[in-house]
A and B are shown apart, each in its own frame.
Chain A
């Protein structure tokens, strides 16, 4: 008789953010809330919230997802591209998700939103590049922001060439390297904004959005008159608070780099990975919360909010142990697991006729999310 050798059941307590995986905006109801992470031999795994609504997660090979359910065309395309990624990061997944949405795989609304987002991103990139260059000019010739604002295009061009020519030898790199590096830095920095241009940056917007949603959940649960619900909401708010605090700290640290463009270029020349890691930290921390914020905002009455809270407790990003080390305490994961049952979800809620409604909802979230 053959013996089926299955891997032993393990608790889901990721040590690192990469092990937690990156949230993937999939639209198939059974895959909603999935995270992608690298697996052995260059494979990719999907970590799914327990479909029965209880504790624990399902882990499956991304390439075998069709053995688990029938993913939408959008999800098939997105998963295929994720499998081909050299490195799984929130930025990389977001870029792929944007591409697939822009092809129309998640519906017309998501397609329009994705195309608009792509155009806006190009502008943000240009602005970040320009702002970095201006900061470099100001630093190199010791001029204030006023002189830059008042300068003509010709004058700026001339001053930029001089600034690059002055900085390049100090870093030990040619002038062309400085120009290319400013472009590369703009690419990774435009998510957090450069200098004073932070309020519109994606990460800043997300922290603001999370803060608003956290307040709304707290206020709503206080008036809901249900102790268990309040306890559930409190847990969501606790995790949101820790996440926001860490995201703000890491955001400030990353953003501080842009105050000294010459120093930033110097670090970039010697250790570009360090800069990428530092700038990427807030994204890793906030990863998955955009979906949570959208779920909450979609819910416009108490009934819908109870349902949203039930889904949110399923999706709540588990903070990896490395984050616990940062804050010097640990969150009660057992409590979180218990609370997942506070609002019991209907059996088959992701697979019955309601799945068609959920799929439409998930596509709507894609449109809003991009």
Chain B
């Protein structure tokens, strides 16, 4: 006879949570995948809670589910329940399950169509997510624009009075996602600039929305597309409509405060850079630098300027720390501990690391003191050149030198008499 499984007691769950907090990355990813694959996550969901900061750094592909499809685009607005205050242009995490439940019930049989589109897909399948989202978001927006407070709202620790403004704002954002998401996706590759006319249309449409919604949309825009800050400023200064000018100013201010809070909280910017992969650290540095530049450019209050200055200093330090760590672990370390000739996979790995370091350094120079990078790159060059040619042939060394110091230095190495 098969043993009957019994739900874990709170003490057992606490013990599992404690052991997970200390677990290595591979173990964490394994548990997350296991929980993601469960049909009914129930209490297992709580296991992931203390891992959220690490998950934000590890960025594993997550199984697409209705809840994830609904809220991943709003992620920059989601805050832990303890940090949320009514009237903040953010969404408390404990509101997600009741909101998703409302949408799920309202969808009825239509949910099967969406489930079919995302079956077996993960957050990496952006096309599937977009296709399913285009069906889900407008429907969810219509449902949430009118739905009464669902059961479970108060039980989740939320006051009834908070329901109406919060959920109507979520509805208003979801309704705009079919336009916003392609803009966010395009910008993520770094090649395509946000289309100004699309942003202008979104801003124009905000006039009829409550203040909370306006600040949420502006906050989402600025977090995902920091470069639109200048456009918003231009719209504010050129708008003939006084109401629109006031709206933009107020919403931008509120959104800026929320973004600063988020960057300052729980390690904020630092943890996003220091613990990220080199590639992610570079992308994140670029985004945060742009965000801080934009916030600084229209930040009147001395208090906010001071906060920005502190954040910039922290970001600079984090970027340098990540660069030094990456340089030692992914480039200099392997080169200094060579025992055999470098093979092709290792050369590819070293070239990738060198490129990612240069990318991080290029972004890092924009945020603070750039001279330190010159010294570190020089140190890297010296190490590359000091490796025994029998382990690293001149062509491979030249490739690394080219990435680290440019083609002139590589040519000089290739032309050196041997």
B127 touches A (CB below 8 Å): yes
- Structural contact, B402 and A72, CB atoms closer than 8 A: yes
- Structural contact, A76 and B192, CB atoms closer than 8 A: no
- Structural contact, B398 and A349, CB atoms closer than 8 A: no
CB distance from B406 to the nearest CB of A (A): 6
- Structural contact, B186 and A73, CB atoms closer than 8 A: no
A354 to B190 alpha-carbon distance, docked (Å) = 7
A352 to B227 alpha-carbon distance, docked (Å) = 15
A357 touches B (CB below 8 Å): yes
Pick the contact of A359: B182, B355, B408 (CB < 8 A): B355
Closest to A72 in B: B407
Q: List residues of A (62-95) whose CB comes within 8 Å of B's CBs.
A: 70-73, 76
Interfacial chain A residues near B408, Cβ < 8 Å: 70
Of B23-31, B110-118, B208-216, B357-365, the one contacting chain A is B357-365
| 1/0 contact string of A298-329 vs chain B (CB within 8 Å) | 00011110110011000000000000000000
- Structural contact, A347 and B358, CB atoms closer than 8 A: no
- Structural contact, A345 and B193, CB atoms closer than 8 A: yes
A343 to B282 alpha-carbon distance, docked (Å) = 25
A347 to B194 alpha-carbon distance, docked (Å) = 11
A71 to B407 alpha-carbon distance, docked (Å) = 7
- Structural contact, A104 and B407, CB atoms closer than 8 A: no
- Structural contact, A356 and B407, CB atoms closer than 8 A: no
Interfacial chain B residues near A359, Cβ < 8 Å: 355
A108 to B414 alpha-carbon distance, docked (Å) = 16
A107 touches B (CB below 8 Å): yes
**A353-B347 in contact given A301-B126, A346-B190 (Cβ < 8 Å):** no
Interface footprint category on A = 20 to 34
B191 touches A (CB below 8 Å): yes
| 1/0 contact string of B383-418 vs chain A (CB within 8 Å) | 000000000000100110011001110110010000
A-B contact count (CB 8 A): 91
B316 touches A (CB below 8 Å): no
Interfacial chain A residues near B239, Cβ < 8 Å: none
A340 to B398 alpha-carbon distance, docked (Å) = 37
A344 to B185 alpha-carbon distance, docked (Å) = 14
| 1/0 contact string of B190-203 vs chain A (CB within 8 Å) | 11111110000000
- Structural contact, A307 and B192, CB atoms closer than 8 A: yes
- Structural contact, A349 and B191, CB atoms closer than 8 A: yes
- Structural contact, B195 and A304, CB atoms closer than 8 A: no
A161 to B370 alpha-carbon distance, docked (Å) = 74
A310 to B186 alpha-carbon distance, docked (Å) = 11
CB distance from B331 to the nearest CB of A (A): 14
CB distance from A69 to the nearest CB of B (A): 10
- Structural contact, B186 and A303, CB atoms closer than 8 A: yes
18 contacts between A and B (CB under 8 A): A71-B407, A73-B398, A73-B407, A104-B395, A302-B126, A303-B185, A303-B189, A306-B192, A307-B186, A307-B192, A311-B191, A344-B194, A345-B191, A352-B362, A356-B358, A356-B362, A356-B403, A359-B355
Query: 4 tightest CB-CB pairs across the interface, nearest first?
Result: A353-B362, A353-B359, A303-B185, A307-B191
Interface set of B (CB-CB < 8 Å, partner A): 126-127, 130, 182, 185-186, 188-196, 282, 286, 344, 347-348, 351-352, 355-356, 358-360, 362-363, 395, 398-399, 402-403, 406-408, 410-411, 414
